[in-house]
Amino acid sequence: MNDIPNAVTDLFSTHFAERVTVTGARFGITTLQIAPEYWLEVCLQLRDRPEFDYAQLTDLCGLDYLSYGATEWITADATAEGFSRGVSGSGPGRFTWAQRPESAHVERRFAVVVHLLSVRHNRRLRLHCLPPDEDMPIVPSLVEVWPSANWYEREAFDLFGIVFEGHPDLRRIMTDYGFTGHPFRKDFPLIGNVAMRYDPEKKRVIYEPVEIEPRVLVPRVLREDSRFRPDDIDLQAEARLGDGTT
């Protein structure tokens, strides 16, 4: 089984040369890094050439690498009691719009990931594409190659703002028609900026600033442990004295 991913990797490297970068295999699935200019060409060959024969697209999604690797868990400040941990409330989405994080340190912020299946060869393949433009990431649509990409690309457009050039009907599919922004982007605020409620005095719906403070809810886990109950400690001490272990 260990020789199969290596053989597949050599096959891709030999055929596509500089058009793809083989980034290795995990759990038997090889990953190909493909530039946007070769995206459509490589995908057509992956579908049509008999040595590949990836006839089915099983998944397509977007990625946002803003704050990639950041975490709200600060274990250096963890308390000494129970299983609680110190946390920071400055994670992705928990900020005001004026204080939203910038992505200047991210060379290419957005990515498109595709999973393919070859039924003939019983192989799976992962494709990874990084569009160069952060303000409007654009990649060619794969609807003409695999029709199942249609709604997946609409979802990635809706949630991440990735534009799929050539898509026959690129419009929102998850959010409302009048929705502004892309909710899966890391700089999209989680708590919103305004709240809406009905005012009985004015007899109409009003908008007002959000009163909820950004916060992180991390549960503190308390567990019963007989080793630290006074009655059980005395019984354990007597037992050790009885058998001569202390």
**196 shares a domain with 141:** no
For the chain, list the strands marked E by DSSP.
20-26, 29-34, 56-64, 73-74, 86-87, 110-118, 123-129, 138-140, 163-165, 194-199, 204-209
pLDDT of residue 68: 74
Find the domain containing 166 and state its range: 3-65+108-181
pLDDT of residue 149: 98
**245 shares a domain with 132:** no
**164 shares a domain with 78:** no
**239 shares a domain with 132:** no
**155 shares a domain with 112:** yes
pLDDT of residue 82: 43
Beta bridge partners of 115: 59, 126
**112 shares a domain with 208:** no
pLDDT of residue 93: 52
**117 shares a domain with 95:** no
Q: How far apart are CA 229 and CA 76, in angstroms?
A: 28
Question: Among residues 181, 199, 224, which one ends one of the domains?
Answer: 181
**201 shares a domain with 88:** yes
Q: How many domains does the chain have?
A: 2
**112 shares a domain with 45:** yes
pLDDT of residue 140: 97
For CA atoms 93, 107, 58, 145, give the dihedral sign.
positive
**118 shares a domain with 93:** no
Question: Among residues 181, 213, 232, which one ends one of the domains?
Answer: 181
Identity of residue 120:
R
Q: How far apart are CA 62 and CA 184, in angstroms?
A: 9
**74 shares a domain with 60:** no
Per-residue pLDDT of the chain (246 residues; tens, 9 = 90+): 445 567 778 889 899 999 999 987 788 789 999 999 999 999 999 999 999 999 999 999 999 988 776 655 555 555 544 444 445 555 555 555 566 656 556 678 999 999 999 999 999 999 999 998 888 999 999 999 999 999 999 999 999 999 999 999 999 999 887 788 898 988 877 766 677 889 999 999 888 887 766 555 555 555 555 555 555 555 555 666 666 555
Question: Among residues 181, 196, 226, which one ends one of the domains?
Answer: 181
pLDDT of residue 27: 81
pLDDT of residue 187: 80
Q: Are 98 and 116 in contact (CB under 8 A)?
A: no
**DSSP track, 115-162:** EEEETTTTEEEEEEE--S-SSS-EEE--TTT-TTHHHHHHHHHHHH--
Domain CATH number, residue 138: 3.30.460.80
**112 shares a domain with 29:** yes
